[in-house]
Amino acid sequence: MRSFSLILKQFSRSVLLIAGFAFWSLSTAYAQTDAAKGEAIFKSKCTTCHKIDTRLIGPALGPQLTQETDDKYLIQWIQNNQALIAAKNPKALKIYNEYNQSGMTVFADLSDADVGNIITYVRATWKDMQAKPAGGATAAPGAKVESGPSDMVVYGLIGIIVIAFIVILVLNRVVGSLERILLKNKDLIIEDEVVTPEGAVAVDAKKEFITKILKNKKLVFFILVAGTVAMCSWGWVTLWNTNVHQGYQPVQPIKYSHELHAGIMKIDCQYCHSGAYKSKNASIPSLNVCMNCHKVVKTESEEIHKIYDALGYDPKTQKYDSTAAKPIQWVRIHNLPDLAYFNHSQHVKVGGIKCQQCHGPVQEMKEVYQYSPLTMKWCIQCHKRTEVNGKGNAYYDSILAAHDKIKKGEKVTAAVLGGIECGKCHY
């Protein structure tokens, strides 16, 4: 009987252990399910105004929901914050006034369980964020580097020049030795040799070497030709490229990537450079254009904080301090001489030319550089090969109409050709 009771106790312990393990597994799974449900609701309802780690329109929810342990109050606040404010709840009034009395959306459609799932998700995500080490930024993959001439070609040319020089020196020594032998056979004194009082023959080695080089017409001719070609080539390239800054790529105060914005994100060029379509200058976008996105996007970036500093903007309070604002000192890349008149709108709007035709594949540039030479020759070549498309273009319609009048013998004044437009004189 005693043995039976011992067996029963052991069995009951095992059952309790298994039941406890099952309950723990079930509660873990249930918590995970809560977090998953909470994530879905959070992304559909809350991300417009809130982030977990940083302030957006509303507070950062991670530290806020972690510090506030009264879940009953949180549920009431999320479901109907206006009711708590009307009831003059101290906690509700405090946060309401802290955020300039900005009204939060009422979520009466969310049940207590839904709000609880959101709270679970936010707390769990914030805990994971706190556990991760600071920094940890991964290096971006290396950009493609444009290669110049092949190393093999450069080394090959240098090798040919060196070999040619060595061959000439060897041939020069051979010719000199043969001349010396011939002169000795004829019992003649060589110019570079001096007879000492003892009758010995001494040779001035330095004078002999210089004399051989000067007498070697092939070597002298080779040096003169090579030097002339090198000097002419250097002079031509230097003069031709005076004030031509193709490839110029200055370091800008903010590392703005056109590859990311125009390439990956597909943002239209004229969203930032709005002047290209309607004025002479393409214009540099104001920082307010940047803030249309970056008041919310990538707020943790060091480069974005340079924009905040320039505007005197505090992302924590979302307020601007005009006394702390300072301009961004961008470095100009494309710079035409004053004697040249170029109108962006004339090319972009009237001509229908793509930005890339002059500025190159900007959508692939991490840092912008001057792609085209922007010389007079380059512009003329483009004007010669670019076909004018006058269909549906009011500008060309007026030009063609003026030509038709000329053909008919009708009077055509400068005004008909746009001679009284302000921009013709005042640009």
CATH class of 35-131: mainly alpha
Q: Are 343 and 221 in contact (CB under 8 A)?
A: no
135-148: string of b/e by CB count within 10 Å (b at 16+)? eeeeeeeeeeeeee
The SS3 of residue 195 is: strand
Domain with CATH 1.10.760.10 in the chain: 35-131
Spatial separation of the C-alpha atoms in residues 193 and 56, rounded to whole Å: 95
Spatial separation of the C-alpha atoms in residues 253 and 383, rounded to whole Å: 35
The SS3 of residue 144 is: coil
Please report how many Cα atoms fall inside a 13 Å half-sphere around the Cα of residue 387, on the Cβ side.
2
Q: Name the token pair of 398.
A: 């007026």
Q: Are 362 and 368 in contact (CB under 8 A)?
A: yes
- Closest C-alpha to 344, from 272, 282, 394: 282
C-alpha to C-alpha distances, 330 to 179, 280, 336, nearest whole angstrom: 71, 19, 17
Q: Please name the helix (run of DSSP H) or strand (run of DSSP E) that holds residue 308, with its range, or none.
A: helix 302-311
The SS3 of residue 204 is: coil
pTM of the model: 0.53
For the chain, 427 residues long, give each residue's pLDDT as a single digit of tens.
444 444 434 444 444 444 444 444 444 444 444 778 878 888 878 877 888 887 777 788 888 888 887 888 888 888 888 888 888 888 888 888 877 777 788 888 888 888 888 888 888 888 888 887 654 444 333 334 344 456 676 777 787 887 877 877 777 777 777 777 776 666 555 555 555 555 555 555 677 777 777 777 777 888 888 888 888 888 888 888 888 889 999 999 999 999 999 999 999 999 999 999 889 999 899 999 999 999 888 888 999 999 999 999 998 888 899 999 999 999 999 998 888 899 999 899 888 899 999 999 999 999 999 999 999 989 999 998 888 777 777 777 888 888 888 899 888 888 877 778 787 777 5
Please report how many Cα atoms fall inside a 13 Å half-sphere around the Cα of residue 15, on the Cβ side.
6
